[in-house]
A and B are shown apart, each in its own frame.
Chain A
Amino acid sequence: MTTISGAEILIECWKKEGVEVIFGYPGAATIDIHHHLTTSSLKFVLCRHEQAAVHAAEGYARATGRPGVVLVTSGPGATNTVTGLAGANMDSVPVVVFSGQVSRLLIGNDAFQEVDIVGVTRCVTKHNYLVISTAELAQTVKEAFYVATTGRPGAVLVDLPKDVLSGQAEFSYPQKVFLRAYQPHLTPHRNQVAAVAKLFEQAERPVIYAGGGVIASGAGEELLTLAELLEIPVTLTLMGLGGFPGNHPLFLGMLGMHGLYRANMAVQKADLILAVGARFDDRVTGLLTQFAKEANIIHIDVDTTSIHKNLKVDVPLVADARLALSAILEKLGPTPTYPAATRAKWRQQIEEWDKACPLTYDRADSDGLMKPQFVIEALYRATNGKAVVVTDVGQHQMWAAQFYRYDRPRQFITSGGLGVMGFGLPASIGALIARPQTTVVNITGDGSIMMNIQELATVAQENLPVKVAILNNGTLGMVRQWQDLFYGQRYAATTLGPSPDFTLLAKAFGLKGYVAKTEAEAEAVIALALADPGPSVMDFKVSPRENVFPMVPAGRAIDEMILRPLELP
């Protein structure tokens, strides 16, 4: 019997899982793993903070659909992953974090760099494990990847005591995993599918409301086929963007708090809503009692707990989004009947809403400064709409969702459910490691970028050609917007200033930095940055007075939108 160490077993497991890249940060508890990792075929990306390593792994997973893998040390290394785990888990992204732990005999002793990370991360992971023997390591790793990637994907943490890593065991990787208590339900119920198909054939004012589940399950094609077959308008959540082509005539744009007027109106007036891979988040539904009151609601979700959670729906369908949509398509057949004339009228009504209140902004404002929306549009033009856009959280995120039109799944990567400022730069690193040939633009704000600015060092070390576009308005814009609208313009704790000179900062990290104050400069800077094969940081000085519209105030129905800026003194 040949035995190898736990550290070597772990690396063998990763290879069996098809892992190519690991993001992380070393420490005393994981030094054995790194010792063997350097001589393996696997790539290790040294991020400059463990939180960033998890975001990078999430960016990698979001860009590819494959699980992102993280390796951190015990104690602070492990606690720093909490925000990343929570974000990935909330957005249903498969991420597996391996954390070092003190030796088994020291657990519970308040040892140096000891923390009960399984306890800490219990409610921010889909599941987590403490490995208690070297012999059980391979089985646990297999389970961890299985749980992270199946059903509703999520974050999993595996805690590895140092002596489990240095201990010896025979390596055999399990072929299959069977968890008695975990068997995701993927195939749709036939009767429910028939009920859905019938509703579709009868509906006069149908709308499809699709979310991140469409991207996670790879249901983009099925969604497009279904929408075109029955001429059904489609609206997407923030997480769903890219799941349906952004320039398609049936596309309504994003819905919800900063959704397009036509999208929100269509949902409110629809007589049938198909929610697929979406979870009726409060940022989408607004006041629940007033949400889509005229509609029958069908809800397809792989997560049973999402069904009836916020809203009681008429036809629940617990299934994988892609399998459910294909079953519906099969049931409908190639030439389904539906009231085409009333549907044409419905689309005409939607068009009228759009004409009345199109998505727009005022390019020339009183302060004479460049508008942030203009920068997004310029980026869209310069990248031919093909870039992978990674955002942080705030106003820039909403403008990136509204003004850049995404053609394909996995083209838009953002922190949705948890809304993590500081997500963008590290997630861009992950996306670029996964897709080195793609243009990756990190649209960010002067607030968000500072939350993981140290990752510019990782960018420099890996020479990753990320294009960081900072919409610099000198404020924490989204909170300031609430202060503008609901707090009497008292800008408490939202003024940033002076922010660092981002051009100089980029140079300090060995990167190219550009600044633009006018529209012409912005276009020139974007052209320069995109033409350059390396990384760059673009600092766009934009109007601090600009806010995101439409806006549904918290606690209001989604057709009660504020459409235009208030006249502020």
Chain B
Amino acid sequence: MELSSEQPKRHTLAILVDNQPGVLARVSALISGRGYNIDSLSVAETLAADLSLITLVTTGTPRIVSQIVKQLRKLINVVKVTDLAEVNYVERQMVMVRVRASDPAQRAEITRLAEIFRAKIIDVSLKTFTLEITGGEEKIRAALTLLADFGLEEQVLTGLTAISRLRNGTNKKN
């Protein structure tokens, strides 16, 4: 009768919550309190100002993640939880990265790469370019891998955010 051991997998959870102090703490405490890590997190108001959307990425077996989802739904301030693994969705994140670019050949090459990745050069110095790249996880990883050859001075990555392609998926709270 017991559940067989299952493989851990990354899950992106879209958590709609009351826009109130302390709610993020409740959500993150629930996950960390069970010994699971939050791989990525982003929070902002939604179209309704009294609601916020938390997009959270965590890794666990289906059983663990389903337990986390149920526990999240039990929180009084959590309106809706969607495990995006169960629906069709689009996800994006953004990175800002400062790349070494001192000689003209390098600068040309980086500019070309920026075009290919539809990145923006948002700051320029004599020795560096700063790029802003938006995309799915794979695109960001690919861009960073290529840019790494020039030497990365600093990078900052936002949390991942995601939107369901369906108007109504399996997204109900109960």
Contacts and interface: CB of A to CB of B under 8 A. Distances in A.
Given A123-B33, A305-B67, A305-B71, A180 B2 contact: no
A150 to B, nearest CB: 11
A104 to B, nearest CB: 13
A293 B80 CA distance: 36
B74 A305 contact: yes
A292 B1 CA distance: 8
Interface stretch (B21-29, B109-117, B139-147, B152-160): B21-29
A123 B75 CA distance: 11
B66 interface: yes
Interface in B59-113: 63, 66-67, 70-71, 73-80
A313 B25 CA distance: 32
B35 to A, nearest CB: 13
Interface in A148-192: 179-183, 185
B18 interface: yes
A178 to B, nearest CB: 12
B174 A183 contact: yes
A217 interface: no
A372 to B, nearest CB: 36
A123 B29 contact: yes
Nearest to A152: B74
A233 to B, nearest CB: 20
Nearest to A128: B22
B49 interface: no
Contacts of A288: 2
A355 interface: no
Interface string A483-510: 0000000000000000000000000000
Contacts of A304: 70, 73-74, 174
B1 A297 contact: yes
Interface in B126-174: 173-174
Given A304-B70, A311-B1, A122 B26 contact: yes
Interface in B1-48: 1-3, 17-18, 21-22, 25-26, 29-30, 33
B70 A293 contact: no
A129 to B, nearest CB: 9
Q: On chain B, which size bracket covers the interface? A: 20 to 34
Contacts of B71: 305
B70 A305 contact: yes
Interface string A285-321: 0001101110101000001110111011100000000
Contact of A181 (B33, B70, B76): B76
A53 interface: no
Contact of B1 (A126, A291, A305): A291
Contacts of A119: 25
Contacts of A295: 1
A197 interface: no
Nearest to B50: A180
A147 interface: yes
Contacts of B2: 288-289, 291, 311-312
A118 interface: yes
B1 A303 contact: no
A182 B1 contact: no
A293 B33 CA distance: 31
B1 A181 contact: no
Contacts of A142: none
Contacts of A182: 76
A464 B77 CA distance: 41
B47 to A, nearest CB: 16
Given A179-B76, A289-B2, A185 B173 contact: no
Nearest to A314: B1
Contacts of B73: 304
A60 B21 CA distance: 33
Nearest to A292: B1
A198 interface: no
Contacts of B173: 181
A127 interface: yes
A308 B77 CA distance: 23
Contacts of A123: 29-30, 33
Contacts of A312: 1-3
Given A181-B173, A288-B2, A304-B73, A309 B67 contact: yes
A181 B174 contact: no
A313 B3 CA distance: 10
Most central of B18, B21, B25, B70 by chain A CB within 10 Å:
B70
Contacts of A303: 74
Interface in A310-353: 311-313
Nearest to A309: B67
Contacts of A292: 1
A118 B26 CA distance: 10
B66 A308 contact: yes
A180 B70 contact: no
B160 to A, nearest CB: 24
13 contacts: A119-B25, A122-B26, A123-B29, A127-B75, A147-B76, A181-B78, A182-B76, A289-B2, A293-B1, A304-B74, A308-B66, A311-B2, A312-B1
Interface of A: 118-119, 122-123, 126-127, 130, 147, 179-183, 185, 288-289, 291-293, 295, 297, 303-305, 307-309, 311-313
Given A122-B29, A181-B80, 9 more contacts: A123-B29, A179-B76, A181-B77, A182-B76, A291-B2, A304-B70, A304-B74, A307-B70, A311-B2
Question: 3 smallest A-B Cβ distances: which pairs?
Answer: A305-B70, A127-B76, A181-B79
